[in-house]
Structure 1
Amino acid sequence: MSTPALPVSIFAGRSNPALARSIAEAYGQELGAVTLKNFSDGEIYVRYEESIRGTDLFIIQSTPPPAENWMELFLMVDAARRASAARITAVIPYFGYARQDRKDQPRVSIAARMIAKMLQDAGVDRVLTMDLHAAQIQGFFDIPVDHLYGSAVFEEWLEEHTLALATSNGQSPKDFRRNLVVVAPDVGASKIARAYAKRFQAGLALIDKRRPEANVAEVMNIIGDVEGKNCLVIDDLCDTAGTLTSGAKALTDAGALDVQAFCTHPLLSGPAVDRIEASPLSRVIVTDSVPLRRASDKIEVISVAPLFAESIHRIGSDESISTLFVD
């Protein structure tokens, strides 16, 4: 490995300490010392407990609700800028507010654009994130954005588990892969589903749905052949699991042999876990981009720490990371 151009320091906010520690461990160093606390009125206090002058600083902070996670990141960036860090990279495994990326109704905010501006105003030089809900959010920034994809870790998982999956369905590994169909749960996910289908050498199907209101989805049609197939639903995030579980039921009703899902960001709010457990889904594979709110026998977590650690190494060494974010 080439030597980093600047000394690398890795710090973390409080939103996902387990992932932050795993990333630092995979990189080969400990997390830096930083004091993060709340005053009695809720205000956040940030102080770096070691010198970061002239360092290539990476701040790891996922930003699921509450919005306090964003505020903590902004303050960590501001403190680092004032402490003379040479370069600041915000490592945001899950980029919150990404669903508010356009003005789709009158008198609404474009929150993702506002967040991008606030990050830059705070002093961020670069952003490293994964599976943005809307890839065009990269265009909201005037600084480099490295957009990783979860497909690499999901593909590795699928390769390792093909035999077990095939056996559980009474198939040979060859037949299992031949009958594999990647399913987009809505039109918005069709591009990434197509990329997965190409990567997995699988068929492709699409669930046509409508959303009468936020967090409510109704399946209208299934486009593609899923009868007797092993269906793999692909989505960037799972919030209330309404889309995922209604889609799984529609696929099963259409004759799917087995339905599993890959979801990068397991927000799993409200009734999500109960819905998954009561659904025809045999398994939901998620990453540790956000902490899992509640465990379930149907939910399996795989880590993206090695992917982020390798990205940090390449950024710190001024190497290309394009091979890591090709979808």
Structure 2
Amino acid sequence: MDASSSPIVVLGPDDAHRAVGIPSWCATVYATRTRFPDGEQLVTLPRPELLHGQHVLIVHTTAEPQDERLVSLCQLADAVAHAGPLSLTCFVPYLCYQRQDRRMRAGEPLSAALPSRMLAAFGVDALMTVDRHSDRPVGPGLPRIVNLDIAADIADVVRGFDIVPDIVVAPDAGGLARASRVAGLLELPVVALDKSKDAGRGTFYRTLPAVVRRRTCLVVEDVCSSGSTLRPLCAVLAEAGGRVTVAVTHLLAPVQVVSEKLPAVAAIIHSDSCGDANAPIKVLTPAIERWSAMTGQGQGQGPVTATATHGWP
């Protein structure tokens, strides 16, 4: 396809495998990364002149190693912006640093706003991501944030199971809204457990409601890196006679590693937001559909749920 007359998707150097999710009405550009002798990276674009005057979508996750990939994203945004696109949107499937969305103590940074502030410097119009950990808004003058919800994708995968869950479980009250969206699609009850943390014990669950005992449970979580929450949660559900399946949007560790840490879990559902090309849920196609609706091009909006947030208090 002639990139000079098409909306353009620019794939970051760690996201080339996502090309299979790009529709035929988009042109595709592959960014590359080289390194200087001291290890510093240089992300570049082939034929940047083709991006001039076009709607451009940068696709680049900031999964581990987060710091390096955040720098890659900024370099890529700078290179694209310098080419003079008509509009510039970044799709960052896993958006790093979203846990730190408030200042708990004096001297702490507000890191959740950091990616938006960095991308604003390059004139990025919108920042799209999947199942953003924080729902707190960003500040004035920063790119619009569009959050894509994959609850429908999780429900579709679960419906294909031989043994379908009969209750949806949130690890804590903060995850109840996310779990409720999946439960609503599956027409199942939902419960949030009472999570406790201790410096010596880590994460643990003091009590377990009777409603989850001896049930087929679907645990819905947004991020799993070390399994520090899911491991005790799944263990206590299994001890209560339950069959456990886990749906996690952002799996930062390889699925094989997580599976070894969760021996009581029958199955793990996850998206490819962190770069796992074999993940059952692919996030790029609905993101492109949403982007096409935002910019008035292509085939229109697909079946995704998106919310835009503005203004950091």
TM-score, with normalisation over the residues of structure 1?
Answer: 0.82
Aligned to 2:9: 10
Aligned residue type for 1:47: T
Match of 2:275 among 268, 286, 291: 291
Contact 2:259 2:265 in 1 (8 A): no
Aligned residue type for 1:259: V
Aligned residue type for 1:132: R
Matched, 1:324 2:304: yes
Matched, 1:303 2:282: yes
Moved more, 212-221 or 246-255: 212-221
Aligned to 1:253: 239
Aligned residue type for 2:8: S
How many Å separate the matches in 2 of 1:214 and 1:307? 43
Matched, 1:274 2:260: yes
Aligned-pair RMSD on alpha carbons?
Answer: 2.8
Structure with more helix by fraction: 1
Match of 1:46 among 36, 43, 46: 43
Aligned to 1:23: 21
Aligned to 2:117: 117
Contact 2:286 2:303 in 1 (8 A): no
Q: Give the drift of 1:48.
A: 2.2
Contact 1:241 1:268 in 2 (8 A): no
Number of equivalenced pairs: 298
Q: Give the drift of 1:72.
A: 0.9
Matched, 1:64 2:49: no
Q: Secondary structure at the match of 1:262?
A: strand
How many Å separate the matches in 2 of 1:244 and 1:141? 37
Q: Give the drift of 1:230.
A: 1.2
Aligned to 1:264: 249
Aligned to 1:75: 75
Aligned to 2:219: 233
TM-score, with normalisation over the residues of structure 2?
Answer: 0.85
CA distance change for structure 1 residues 15 and 106 in 2, over 3 Å: closer, same or farther?
A: farther
5+ residue gaps, structure 1 = 1-5, 166-175
5+ residue gaps, structure 2 = 308-313
Among the aligned pairs, what percent are the same residue? 22
Q: How does 1:173-212 map to 2 (within 5 A)?
A: 176=164, 180-212=166-198
Q: Give the drift of 1:57.
A: 0.8
Aligned to 2:311: none
Contact 1:128 1:148 in 2 (8 A): yes
Q: Secondary structure at the match of 1:124?
A: coil
Contact 2:116 2:143 in 1 (8 A): no
Aligned residue type for 2:252: L
Aligned residue type for 1:200: L
How many Å separate the matches in 1 of 2:270 and 2:25? 25
Aligned residue type for 1:84: G
Q: Secondary structure at the match of 1:31?
A: strand
Q: Give the drift of 1:42.
A: 2.1
